[in-house]
Chains A and B, each alone.
Chain A
Amino acid sequence: MPFIEEYQRIVALELEARKAITHRLLVCGASGCLSSGGDAVREALAAEVNARGLGREVQVKGVGCMGLCAAGPLVAVDPAGLLYQAVTPADAGDIVASLGSGPVTRLLCPTDTPFFTRQLKIVLENSGLIDPERIEDYVVSGGYQALIKVLTEMTPGEVIDQITRSGLRGRGGGGYPTGLKWTTVAKASGQVKYVICNADEGDPGAFMDRSVLESDPHRVLEGMALAGYAVGASHGYVYVRAEYPVAVRRLQTAIKQAKRLNLLGNAVLGTPYSFNVEVRLGAGAFVCGEETALMASIEGRQGTPRPRPPYPAEHGLWGCPTLINNVETFANVAWIVRRGGEAFAAIGSGKSRGTKVFALAGKIVNTGLIEVPMGTSLREIIEEIGGGVPEGRRCKAVQTGGPSGGCIPADHFDAPVDYESLRQLGSMMGSGGMIVMDDSSCMVDVARYFMDFCMTESCGKCVPCRVGTTHIHDLLARITAGKASEDDLRLLDELCELLQGTSLCGLGQSAPNPVLSTLRYFREEYAAHVGEHRCLAGACGATEEVTS
């Protein structure tokens, strides 16, 4: 097959070109490091290399996220295995001069810490190693091999079978078994079917999907192309929020490159399978991440959810059967196809298989992005990998699952992180945001913050969510101000139950979770605000005024 020969030729050329290179300087070019000046560092390094006439043997390369965003801009030296942190353009001379001799010690970031040694990378396997704007980099790392394998050796049913065996579940929050979803779409009758990648990521504190798209966009495209083959779809959409300009640009570049090599487009690799992908921009409404609202938005209508059933698998985009999965879900697919479902299923615990990417934020030493096997304990993630809360403070709780999730207190940190355990604790896996709080945080105020988010992001279609979130928010504001009564607490409980039971979509149904979980674990804080007009964390300014 001529197209596969072309693919092999590119791999060979790329490997040949690399032979001349003795050192590679990998500069992080994902949003985190870009915001701390990563671009300028890369330019300074390139200029330095040219000035010294090292252009042939030293390569300066923009790569994706290296994980430890808080220490950016990050520069890795290959093959020395060094990592430099908080690099400025002024450091370029020292770094280039040191190549082949000892490291620049003042910039060294230790890589023998749990943050680096305890992770297991599937979704992020190429992040920080390859240039996301070059398809050659992805291809040399084994990219698109899964697609070639599937198109030449496997039937759609066999692909779905591997996904089912892998035990992969949706990483967009709900944890729905991916193999089952694919089977339903594959079985749905209809000539035209669609594949949608949900990259609307709107939870406060979450940046996993953005990072994957910025660091390794081809991985997501390959996952979608595999899905399209498996379910019988020839058209895909990636719905990305417009606030992610870098991700959008890299994705568009990746689509163009893949089409040029015939890895996407009509007659992929000369087979009868066609798969075209388009990018659609969202305007940043959180509710547009909900699948039915997202599809309404792609169709050009107002992004409001509609009741399910019918589910998108039967009645989706423009009424056609539609497969909708999250970015991270798709990012696992090629790995599973390459290594087999069993290899994936061997990782993880209970009904949660594989790994999960988490964004660590809040009061934690190592702010950044990590990937760990499912079932890793919260303690290991927060205290060891994350380095715990900064000196002098006590860790109080972690918020997982964003506005749909809950707060888990520190004395439950031995719980494994999997879909079921988090749900039992009154929280959710959600998309993977983890916000760590120390003892200076007032848990009532935390609940108020998330309810403020839900209230502002409610689309306003159904009554319980539209009106209920504002009342719950106002009640919480009254409690933090020390002006609430016991009756208000009762009303709070009642409204939370109503929203869970009657709201139209997941936004309203899960909006009470931050309130209910803080009521469950930190009821004394609510009671102190109400009964003694006192904030136990000393955080609510207004409360103290009331006391004095």
Chain B
Amino acid sequence: MKPQVKIKTLSIDGRDIGAREDETILEVARENGIAIPTLCWLEGLSTVGACRLCMVEIEGSSRLLPACTTHVEEGMRIATDSERLRRYRRQIVELIFSERNHVCSVCVSNGHCELQSLAQALGIVRVHVPYRYPRLDVDASHPRFVVDHNRCILCTRCVRVCDEVEGAHTWDVSGRGVDARVITDLAQPWGASESCTGCGKCVHVCPTGALFEKGKSVAEMSKRRQFLPYLTLMREERR
């Protein structure tokens, strides 16, 4: 017999809402049609709270909290769309644009990119911090896929899907700070990886054009990730 789930009542942006106690603020908000921007979060993967776009205000707490990792509590009063939050979100997206080389017009994912649509939704028309223009590699050694570090935002979705869903753990992060990179195996060329099964899940969960299929030209790389919630659901059923 499953233990009984308790219901908590709370309010989000002034709306009174009931939620299961094991839900996060993000899940409850989405169920109720309240949009909170996210980049590192993806349904079916573990949460890491790394991009900081989903930060929300909670009445009575001076700290902002990430909606994706914070569980609901009785009586919580949450604001998801204040002027301050909107400003922070724009700044965070600008920081991401400035970090590497995100040139949409020549990107395989132009028009299908989560970073791009987020910037549009937040009304970003220019980046106020200086671009860093690092010189980064493109690894095309894999027979079917390419990783272009210029477009990577270090959301680690590839790392998590490969480990948690495919079970291969080909991807990882090496280095610190702005020098951090996603790597395959022990920082070997992807094509030389012995653990990679070539399943392509990493490519399809990648929010930008950092991971793509060979042969795709500008704006041709759209991602399919409907498989993910389905796979995780099936795995949980089997447990």
Of A307, A309, A503, the most chain B CB neighbours within 10 A belong to: A307
Contact A502 B52 (CB under 8 A): yes
Q: Which residues on B sit within 8 Å (CB–CB) of A467?
A: 95-96, 98-99, 178
> How far does the Cβ of A74 sit from chain B's closest Cβ, in whole Å?
38
Contact B96 A463 (CB under 8 A): yes
> Given A302-B173, A502-B88, A502-B92, are A460 and B48 also a contact pair (CB < 8 Å)?
no
> Given A306-B48, A464-B95, A502-B55, are A491 and B173 also a contact pair (CB < 8 Å)?
no
> Given A470-B132, A471-B130, A474-B130, are A460 and B88 also a contact pair (CB < 8 Å)?
no
> Given A460-B177, A467-B178, are A504 and B98 also a contact pair (CB < 8 Å)?
no
Interface size in chain B (residues, C-beta < 8 A): 33
Interface window among A48-56, A102-110, A274-282, A451-459:
A451-459
Contact A498 B130 (CB under 8 A): no
Interface size in chain A (residues, C-beta < 8 A): 30
C-alpha gap A498/B70 in the complex (Å): 20
> Is residue B128 within 8 Å, beta carbon to beta carbon, of the partner chain?
yes
* Chain B window 119-135, contacts with chain A (Cβ cutoff 8 Å), 1 for yes, 0 for no: 00000000011101000
> How far does the Cβ of A309 sit from chain B's closest Cβ, in whole Å?
8
C-alpha gap A503/B52 in the complex (Å): 7
C-alpha gap A468/B88 in the complex (Å): 12
Contact A502 B177 (CB under 8 A): no
Contact A463 B95 (CB under 8 A): yes
Q: Which residues on B sit within 8 Å (CB–CB) of A466?
A: 99, 154, 177-178, 180
> How far does the Cβ of B108 sit from chain A's closest Cβ, in whole Å?
23
> How far does the Cβ of B26 sit from chain A's closest Cβ, in whole Å?
12
* Chain A window 425-467, contacts with chain B (Cβ cutoff 8 Å), 1 for yes, 0 for no: 0000000000000000000000000000001111111111011
C-alpha gap A388/B52 in the complex (Å): 44
C-alpha gap A470/B179 in the complex (Å): 11
C-alpha gap A501/B179 in the complex (Å): 23
For the complex of A and B, 10 pairs with smallest distance between CB atoms: A460-B180, A467-B95, A307-B49, A458-B177, A502-B52, A307-B69, A460-B177, A467-B99, A461-B50, A462-B50
**Interface pairs (16), CB distance under 8 Å:** A457-B177, A459-B177, A462-B49, A463-B50, A463-B92, A464-B52, A466-B99, A466-B180, A467-B98, A471-B130, A495-B91, A498-B92, A502-B52, A502-B88, A504-B49, A504-B50
Which residues of chain B have a CB within 8 Å of any CB of chain A? 48-52, 55, 64, 66, 69-71, 84, 88, 91-92, 95-96, 98-99, 128-130, 132, 153-154, 172-173, 175-180
